[in-house]
A and B are shown apart, each in its own frame.
Chain A
Amino acid sequence: MNDDILVLSDVCKSYDGVSVLKHLFLKVKEGEFLTLLGASGCGKTTTLRIIAGLDSPDSGNVVLEGNDVCDLEPNQRDVNTVFQSYALFPHMDVEKNIGYPLKLKRVPRLEIAERVNEILKLVQLEGFNHRRVPNLSGGQKQRVALARALVSKPRILLLDEPLGALDLKLRRMMQIELKRLQKLLGLTFIYITHDQEEALNMSDRIAVMNNGVIEQIDASDVIYNKPRTSYVASFVGNANIIKGLVASVENDAAVVKFCEQTFLFSKPGLKAGEELHFALRTEHVILNAPDSKFHATVVEKSFRGSMLRIVLKTQCNQEIVSTNFGVDSKLKEGDKVLFSWKDENIVLVDHE
């Protein structure tokens, strides 16, 4: 069974000789909320523009509902975009902005008015019909842009960091609302953000992009708990990367040397002498437990609202960050501590 609504395969794109997308593959399932997450410059906006048809790939295919759409103009694709800058038409009022795609489709005027009112209700902007765009607040502009992109019922909605310009409180509210709308309409959303928290909050699946490729695409909890690469681990949820050397192998478990100490890691197929990278979430760092055995010194302590963030420096000069609720707050800079982790909280990752 094939429920992929959109498939990008082997897409390459470069601007002025700099390659932005390097053999990108992406499958999007019908009705899902997929987030492209990555730092700025990773190629996520380019990917979106290629899907929308605003840019064409140098090579590769874009298949929408089984049809190759590479040669189709943006107006011929049943895909709408919510732009980062909203891109509302300044010379039209709210109603004309939202009715714009319907007018292009030659929908009768009365039906346009009806559908505009319907969608205004959906985005909670009833009665805003004749407001002028410059007189709207950021959040209202956001809703109008959303309504305009949704009113013609596209197959896929693309959202390019739509909440980037809003303040934190409004962002949180809009996140919930976007998710609500997406569920309500059963529409496929492809959402771009560089904010990992936003991605984890809203998405069914997250595709972490780095340097023009997708490093990992998985459900949010898998991305968080089982990152595949060190980049994913540190970009999503700020993990520590621990570098160890396999000292010896005994029955499917390796003795890994790290900071003058060793720990056991069970995985078949490891060889002695191999260098390994592990991701360890900051909240999984245990301080001064009876079985803690790695030595470190506290170099920084800061209070982060709900939690305490402590930066340690190990004997071998590596920084380890620990965040915890109500951890022994008597620790102060310069204190010697012992730290450790639970076996199940350490994840082997690829490292480029």
Chain B
Amino acid sequence: MGRHMIAGDLNDDGTVPKRRKTSPYIAALIPLYLVMILLVIGPLVYTVMLSFATNVGNGGFSWKLTVENYRRMIDPVYRVTFLKSIQLAFLSTLLISLIGYPFGYWMSRLSKKWKKIMILLVVIPFGVNSLIRYYGIIILLQSKGVLNWLLLKLHLIEEPIKFLYNYSTVLAGMVYGLLPFMILSVYSSAEKIDWTLVEASRDLGATKTEAFFSIIFPLTIPGLFSGVILSFVPSMGLFFVSEILGGNKIVLVGSLIQDQMTRGGNWPFAAAIAVLLTIVTSVLLIASARISQLQGETRKGNNLI
């Protein structure tokens, strides 16, 4: 885009001013670009390249290009893992939405003081490393853990219950870890709703329920979508949740990649899986962003992404 010359652009004596040089401040952005190129774009390009390399075993590879790594994923074992991961991500996102939406909405209706307290409570867990939190869950849930001890003491159960190392524990772990994102993004969009709109709908004949579904819900959809993205994308990749709480019995895409990198020693294949995962999540992300944009066009900046 060239700078268009208009009358106001002339100097006081009527001459055309010299074209302004590029701002000197642009130099200040160079470190940022360096970081982006080195740490974001570089590894991404490298991963894509790696996914077409040939595996020579034990973590070694040669740059002989091949599509073998992608062809291999057609294998039912990997297909099932992918589908299972997507299924788990869908399920956890659904649960997160069902719990997080009402919670976030409820928070937006609290008094100023209680809003602050609740936000603090929701955010506090982020202060502790998530690995440590998940190991903490093991202490709570294991056979000789706190919960079983309590239930035994209360004579509610005869024998310790095996909470850990199954699908529902992994699911619960995902929900636990990602719920705050949903709560906060729903809260932020519900908080911005002009309450006069709700009063207007009530005044025009809507019951409380009708007002909720015709006004509040549509206006919080952008927040809900942000929350969905923020919980769906990570739950595809949080391999350590299934590692820790699933005890390696639940294999997800994330753990598959990690496994191929370490034990399998097949870097090109790990890279291929990672590329596919990136593509799948990107497609889902773009799709939801589109829907969210359509829904929320009338409302200003609500998307966290």
Contact = CB atoms under 8 A, between A and B. Distances in A.
B210 A73 contact: no
Contacts of A26: none
A133 B219 CA distance: 14
A87 B197 contact: yes
A90 B298 contact: yes
Interface stretch (A97-105, A167-175, A217-225, A328-336): A97-105
A344 B218 CA distance: 62
Contacts of B200: 81, 83, 87, 89
B81 interface: no
A36 interface: no
B199 A87 contact: yes
Given A90-B219, A100-B214, A149 B204 contact: yes
Interface string A69-106: 00001110001110101010111000000001100110
A318 B134 CA distance: 80
A54 B199 contact: yes
Contacts of B204: 75, 80, 100-101, 104, 148-149, 152
Nearest to A101: B204
Interface in A190-204: none
Contact of B197 (A79, A89, A104): A89
Contacts of B281: none
A100 B202 CA distance: 11
Interface of A: 52-54, 73-75, 79-81, 83, 85, 87, 89-91, 100-101, 104-105, 132-134, 148-149, 152
Contacts of A73: 202, 207
A122 B214 CA distance: 26
B299 interface: yes
B219 A104 contact: no
A73 B198 CA distance: 13
Of B194, B205, B210, chain A has the most CB atoms within 10 Å of the CB of: B205
Contacts of A87: 194, 196-197, 199-200
Contacts of B207: 73, 75
A101 B202 CA distance: 10
B196 A85 contact: yes
Nearest to A104: B205
Contact of B206 (A53, A85, A90, A104): A104
B150 to A, nearest CB: 44
Interface in B246-299: 295, 298-299
B147 interface: no
A90 B302 CA distance: 14
A80 B204 CA distance: 6
A52 B203 CA distance: 7
24 contacts: A54-B202, A54-B203, A73-B207, A74-B199, A74-B202, A75-B205, A75-B210, A81-B200, A83-B199, A83-B200, A85-B194, A87-B194, A87-B196, A87-B197, A90-B197, A90-B298, A91-B218, A100-B201, A100-B204, A101-B204, A104-B205, A104-B210, A105-B205, A149-B204
Interface residues of B, number: 20
Contacts, number: 63
B206 A89 contact: no
Interface of B: 194, 196-197, 199-207, 210, 214-215, 218-219, 295, 298-299
A91 B203 contact: no
A52 B201 CA distance: 12
Of B197, B203, B215, chain A has the most CB atoms within 10 Å of the CB of: B203
Of A52, A85, A91, A101, chain B has the most CB atoms within 10 Å of the CB of: A91
Nearest to A54: B199
A91 B298 contact: yes
Contacts of A75: 202-207, 210
A77 B102 CA distance: 29
A222 B214 CA distance: 46
Identify the 3 closest CB pairs spanning chains A and B, nearest first.
Answer: A87-B200, A90-B298, A101-B204
A107 B215 CA distance: 19
Of A74, A85, A148, chain B has the most CB atoms within 10 Å of the CB of: A74
A227 to B, nearest CB: 34
Nearest to A158: B203
Nearest to B214: A100
Of B204, B214, B219, chain A has the most CB atoms within 10 Å of the CB of: B204
A111 B270 CA distance: 62
